[in-house]
Amino acid sequence: MTHSAYVRAVDAFEALIKAPGRDAFASPAGLIRAAGLPASSGYRHTAVLEAEGMLRRDAQGHYLPGMSTIRVGLQGFGFGRMAPLVQPILLQLRQRTQLTSFLAIAQDMELRMGPHTVGRETRAIPVQPSYSFETIPDLVIGDVSEVVLRWFERTVARRTSVALIPVESSTSNIALIGLVLNATRGASDAQIQALQQAYGQIKEQEI
């Protein structure tokens, strides 16, 4: 593969992987348009990435990052072993709470969402790719915390409340499972218990 062909392939991969997290694309044509790729090569790239597990579809047929992408992303942060656990645990968490559940990586004062979220939004609160903690969080493995996250919509600062439970740490990162809370109230006892159960499921896999 020539250098220019390699660059084009990487660009196509990044475009296709980024597009699913923003909207629901239930057809290759919609995904390709959203990624800004030419139709001539977009269908081929989409088919190859789906066959290799880099893209997948949910129960409604919408494209999402595939297990191979999730595994590579988590390995980059030092949490590769969690890749096969994430999807079923987040689905259960979503079903139990009816809130958007997510896996995130915390580093200093930043929280990077993904590579996986379940439930596109809670009470019309869109999930952003990254956030800043409003105050320095006290993140303890296995303990649930309610925190306020900040993000910007153009020049306007917005706030989102979440409940988090740190599940694993590496040298410089912390992996967390969380729920996007309704703005009018905090986490209920049932939601806290659901997060604790999710943490327990992950710890059981270490044995």
Residues 121 and 180: their CA atoms lie apart, in Å, by: 8
Report the chain (207 residues): mean pLDDT per 10 consecutive residues. 61 70 70 80 84 79 76 76 82 89 90 68 66 91 94 86 93 91 86 95 77
Q: What does the pLDDT read at residue 49?
A: 82
Q: What does the pLDDT read at residue 86?
A: 81
Residues 77 and 114: their CA atoms lie apart, in Å, by: 12
Residue 201 CA: distances (Å) to CA of 71, 116, 197:
18, 17, 6
The per-residue pLDDT for range 55-94, each reduced to its tens digit, is 888 777 777 777 777 777 777 777 877 877 887 888 899 8
Q: DSSP label at 128? A: P
Q: What does the pLDDT read at residue 80?
A: 78
State the DSSP H helix or E strand holding residue 169, giving kind and residue range, or none if neither: strand 156-169
Residues 139 and 174: their CA atoms lie apart, in Å, by: 9
Residues 12 and 133: their CA atoms lie apart, in Å, by: 32
Neighbours of 15 (CB within 10 A): 17
Q: Is the pTM of this model over 0.85?
A: no
Environment class of 189 (CB within 10 Å of its CB; exposed 0-12, middle 13-18, buried 19+): exposed
Q: What does the pLDDT read at residue 22?
A: 54
